[in-house]
Structure formats: structure tokens, C-alpha cells
Amino acid sequence: MTAKVRTRDFREKKRRGERIAMLTAYDANMARLLDRAGVDALLVGDSLGMVVLGFDNTVPVTLDAMIHHTAAVVRGTRHALVVADMPFLTYQATPAEAVRNAGRLMQEGGAEAVKVEGGSAIIDTVRRLVDVGVPVMGHLGLLPQSVHQVGGFLRQATNPRDADILLADALALEEAGAFAIVLESIPSEVGRTVSAALAVPTIGIGAGPDCDGQVLVTNDMIGLFDGPVPSFVKQYARVADTVTASVQSYVDDVKSRRYARPAPPKTPTPTI
Ligand code: KIV
């Protein structure tokens, strides 16, 4: 039985050269399955909006929805660290508001850390969160909450100037106290350079093989999401196909009146 993973284990894993395996989860049952399989951390991502709630992007996801799903994931988790995304505009307005909202994710949802998107623009907020006892995971590169500003889910840091800005942001997040940083959709060389420059681990998603760990959206990774999946995702199963085929058999069975036969009641063994 593995011990509960804590934020302090992240830096130690990097020091030992042990890669960190992280996946998203949105409900208690899936959290139980992923936890049992040995993931180090579960992210209650605001990708919830896209892969579960049917939105086109993560912008409409509310704090209440994140608290609701975080609490479910926590109920299904024993070992993995549970990190919850702070939704769009729940941490950008003021550090005080960020503290109150992170507090709700931890107190009502049971999150053990929060994740926030951005670099220089939110450094004061990250420092304030860490100062009051909220463990913070950073997120740089492709920032899904900025989809309307960027004009799509586009690969980032693809030129030397943007790569330098990303490195500076990563160093600033580390200095402000972030315990790990997600790097999304950037060139492998940038992932490698940033990972080498930091003492805290980088968790890549489409950021090459040299990050200190990887996070994927579980529904993409197991082929459960019935929509387009980014090319960097290795699919380990096609669960959506299994569900469709099973349900087709179910529909056929109901139409043909084929039902499971309940087991006959056990006859009591006579006592002498
Ligand atoms: O919301 C999410 O699932 C994420 C991952 C893509 C890192 O932020």
C-alpha cells in the first residue's frame, strides 16, 4: 500500500529522477480507479467544462461546479494528491479574492492544492496564496482560459522571445512558491530547458519527454471523450467504442426481450 502523496514529495521525486504521473478526474468512481492504478496526483481540471459538461472551452466553468466535482474526486481518492483548478476570473481580480476562492476549493471541496494559469500577471497572487498556506501549482504555455484572447488552442513559445518569457515566468512562479508547474503545448526543447532550470518539477502536457512528469486528460487518454483529441495524447483504450457497442447489444436485447435470468433463491440446507 503506497503512502498518501503530499506536495513536498513532488520536489523530492524530481531530485530522485522519479517521473510524476498525473491524470484528470471529475468524479469519485473514476478517481477510485485511477488512484488504485497508482497515479501520483489527480487534477480536477476545468477541462471538466469540455469533456464532461459539453462546453466548447473552459471559460464557463464556475467555482461551485469545481467545488462539487472536487469533493467527489476527494471521496474516491486515498493516495494521490488532489489538485483543483481555479476557474477563469476566480483568482485574477485581487489576491484577496483568490485566497477566499482557493479557501472554498480546499474547505468545501477538500482540494489539497490549487492550479492557476499564467505567469508575471499573477505572481503576487501566487505569493499571497502560498503565504497563507495554499499550495499552488502553476500553469504556463497554452492557457485554455485565455482561448478568446489568443484566438484558439494554439501551441505556445514557438519562437526564442516567447520561450525566454516562458522561462522567466517559470522561474518567477518557483520563486513565488509554486510547488510544480504544468507546461502545456510547447516545443520539446523549451520543456527541456525550463525543466532543467527549475528545482520544482514540471508536469508536461504536449511539452515533450523531458518534463519531470506528465498530465493528460483521462477522458482523452482512455478514449472516453467523443470529440477530437490532441495529437500528443497516447490513447491506451477506446472506451467510447466499448460503451457504444455494449449499449447497441443492450438495445437489441431489450427489443428481443432477452434479460438476465436472476439466480434462483438458495434452498436452505436441512439441518439434522
Ligand atoms: O483543465 C485541465 O484538465 C488542465 C490540464 C489540461 C492540464 O488544465
Whole-number Å distance, alpha carbon 251 to ligand 1 midpoint, is 35
Contact 147, 59 (CB under 8 A): yes
Give the per-residue pLDDT at 161. 98
Q: Which residue type sits at 47?
A: S
CA of 124 to the centre of ligand 1 (A): 22
pTM for the complete prediction?
0.95
Q: Provide the mean pLDDT of the chain.
A: 96
Q: What are phi and psi of 25, to 5 degrees?
A: -150, 150
Distance 144 CA to ligand 1 centre (A): 8
Reported confidence tier of residue 28, pLDDT bands at 50, 70, 90: very high
Mean pLDDT of 20-43: 98
Q: Is 174 a catalytic residue?
A: no
Q: Pocket residues for ligand 1 (CB within 6 Å)?
A: 24, 43, 45-47, 85, 182, 184, 205, 215, 217
pLDDT at 272: 67
Residue 271: pLDDT above 80? no
The tens digit of pLDDT for each residue in 202-261 reads 999 999 999 999 999 999 999 999 888 999 999 999 999 999 999 999 999 999 999 998
Pocket-testing residue among 24, 91, 183, ligand 1, by greatest number of atoms within 8 A of Cβ? 24
Q: Which atom of ligand 1 approaches the CA of 203 most closely?
A: 7
Q: What is the pLDDT of residues 46-73, one digit of tens each?
A: 999 999 999 999 999 999 999 999 999 9
DSSP string over the chain: -PPPP-HHHHHHHHHHTPPEEEEE--SHHHHHHHHHTT-SEEEE-TTHHHHTS--SSSTT--HHHHHHHHHHHHHT-SSSEEEEEPPTTSSSS-HHHHHHHHHHHHHTT--SEEE---SGGGHHHHHHHHHTT--EEEEEES-GGGHHHHTSS-----SHHHHHHHHHHHHHHHHHT-SEEEEES--HHHHHHHHHH-SSPEEEESS-TTSSEEEE-HHHHTT-S-S---TTPPP---HHHHHHHHHHHHHHHHHTT--PPPPPPPPPPPP-
Q: Which atom of ligand 1 is closest in space to residue 182's alpha carbon?
A: 7
pLDDT digits (tens, 9 = 90+) for 248-265: 999 999 999 999 988 888
- If you take atom 4 of ligand 1, which residue's CA is the nearest one? 45
Confidence of residue 190 (pLDDT cuts 50, 70, 90): very high
Distance 45 CA to ligand 1 centre (A): 5
pLDDT of residue 1: 54
Residues of the chain above pLDDT 70, percent: 99
